[in-house]
Amino acid sequence: MSSQRIKWKIEYEKSVICQNFDRKGYVRTEGDDWNIFWATVGTVKQIFNPDSSQRLTDNQVINHFPNHYELTRKDNLVKNIKRYIKEQQKEGKQVDDFLPVTYLLPSDYSLFVEEFRRYPNAMWIMKPSNAAQGKGIFIINKLQQIKKWSTGRFARDQQTYVVSRYIENPLLIGGKKFDLRIYVLITSFRPLRMYLGDGFARFCNVKYSSDVGEIDNPFMHLTNVSIQKHNEDYNYNHGGKWNVQNLRLYLESTRGLAATQKLFSDIDDLLVHSAKAVQNVMINDRHCFECYGYDLLLDDNLKPWLVEVNASPSLNATTQMDKEMKTTLIRDVLDIVVPEEFGSDYRGPNTQGPCRDQGDFVVLYDEAASNEKALREAELKAGQKEKKKAVRSWK
Partner 1 sequence: MDHTTPQTPVTPSSALLSSLHLDPFLHLSLLHLKKNLIHSPKSTPHTVESIKSAMLELGLTPKIRNLAYSLSCSEKDRKSTPEILQVEQARDDWKQSIYDELLSVCSERGVSIIGPDSAQNKKIRYIFDSEDLFDAIKRIPCSSNMNASLCHNYGLIKLRLSTPDHSALRTKFSELHPCNRQYGMDETFLGSSKFIQHRQEVGVKVLQESYVPISMQYARYGIPAGLRPEIYRVCLNLPRRIGAKEGEYYNSLREKAKNMRYNVVDELFEMDSQTIISNSMSFFPFLENITNVVLAFSRDSWVVQNSTYTAHESIKYEMSDGSTTSIPSSGVQPFKGFVNYIAPLSLVYEDEERIYFTFRGMYSRLWCKLNVISSDSGTLIHLCKTFEDLLLSWDPALFMHLLSVNVAPLSIAFTWIHLAFTNVLETEQLLLLWDRLVGYDDLLLLPVLSAAIFTFRSETLMCTSSAQEVKDILDNNSGRRLKVMPILQAALFGECFK
DSSP secondary structure letters along 224-287 = -HHHHTTSTT--TTTTTEEEHHHHHHHHHHHH-HHHHHHHHHHHHHHHHHHHHHHTTTS---TT
**Could you tell me how many residues of this chain bind partner 1 (CB under 8 A)?**
25
Distance CA 295, CA 182 (A): 7
Question: Residue 4: helix, strand or coil by DSSP?
Answer: helix
Distance CA 326, CA 307 (A): 22
Q: With respect to partner 1, which residue has the nearer C-beta, 256 or 343?
A: 256
Instruction: Confirm or reject binding of residue 199 to partner 1 (CB under 8 A).
Output: no
Considering the complex, what minimum distance in angstroms separates the CB of residue 238 from partner 1? 4
State the binding string over 288-307 for partner 1 (x if CB under 8 A, else -): --------------------
Instruction: Confirm or reject binding of residue 203 to partner 1 (CB under 8 A).
Output: yes
Burial class from Cβ neighbours inside 10 Å (0-12, 13-18, 19+) for residue 196 reads: buried
Listed in sequence order, the DSSP H helices in 24-143 are: 41-48, 69-72, 74-90, 109-118
Buried b (16+ CB within 10 A) or exposed e, 160-184: bbbbbbbbeebbbbeebbbbbbbbb
Considering the complex, what minimum distance in angstroms separates the CB of residue 305 from partner 1? 20
Considering the complex, what minimum distance in angstroms separates the CB of residue 173 from partner 1? 5
Q: With respect to partner 1, which residue has the nearer C-beta, 254 or 265?
A: 254
Of 245, 200, 243, 198, residue with least CA distance to 359: 198
Residues 216, 219, 222, 227, Cα dihedral to 10°: 110
Q: Is beta strand 138-140 parallel, antiparallel or unpaired with respect to 304-310?
A: unpaired
Look at the alpha carbons of 309, 313, 318, 320 in this order and tell me if their dihedral is positive or negative: positive
Q: With respect to partner 1, which residue has the nearer C-beta, 119 or 236?
A: 236
* β-sheet bridge partners, residue 298: 304
Q: Please identify which residue in 56, 95, 132, 321 interacts with partner 1, judged by CB under 8 A.
A: 321
Considering the complex, what minimum distance in angstroms separates the CB of residue 89 from partner 1? 33
What is the total residue count of the chain? 395
Q: With respect to partner 1, which residue has the nearer C-beta, 225 or 288?
A: 225
Considering the complex, what minimum distance in angstroms separates the CB of residue 386 from partner 1? 33
* β-sheet bridge partners, residue 7: 27
**Of 229-237, 271-279, 331-339, 382-390, which part binds partner 1 (CB under 8 A)?**
229-237
Considering the complex, what minimum distance in angstroms separates the CB of residue 257 from partner 1? 4
State the binding string over 336-355 for partner 1 (x if CB under 8 A, else -): --------------------
Of 376, 277, 356, 214, residue with least CA distance to 72: 277
Distance CA 128, CA 121 (A): 23
For residue 87, CA distances in Å to 101, 185, 228 come to 18, 25, 39
Considering the complex, what minimum distance in angstroms separates the CB of residue 233 from partner 1? 8
State the binding string over 155-194 for partner 1 (x if CB under 8 A, else -): ------------------xxxx-x----------------
Considering the complex, what minimum distance in angstroms separates the CB of residue 201 from partner 1? 9
Considering the complex, what minimum distance in angstroms separates the CB of residue 245 from partner 1? 7
State the binding string over 204-223 for partner 1 (x if CB under 8 A, else -): ---x----------------
**Of 46-54, 230-238, 298-306, 378-386, which part binds partner 1 (CB under 8 A)?**
230-238
State the binding string over 235-264 for partner 1 (x if CB under 8 A, else -): x-xx-x-xx-xx--xx-xxx-xx--x----
Q: Is beta strand 290-298 parallel, antiparallel or unpaired with respect to 7-10?
A: unpaired
Q: With respect to partner 1, which residue has the nearer C-beta, 49 or 265?
A: 265
Binding site for partner 1 (CB under 8 A): 173-176, 178, 203, 207, 233, 235, 237-238, 240, 242-243, 245-246, 249-250, 252-254, 256-257, 260, 321
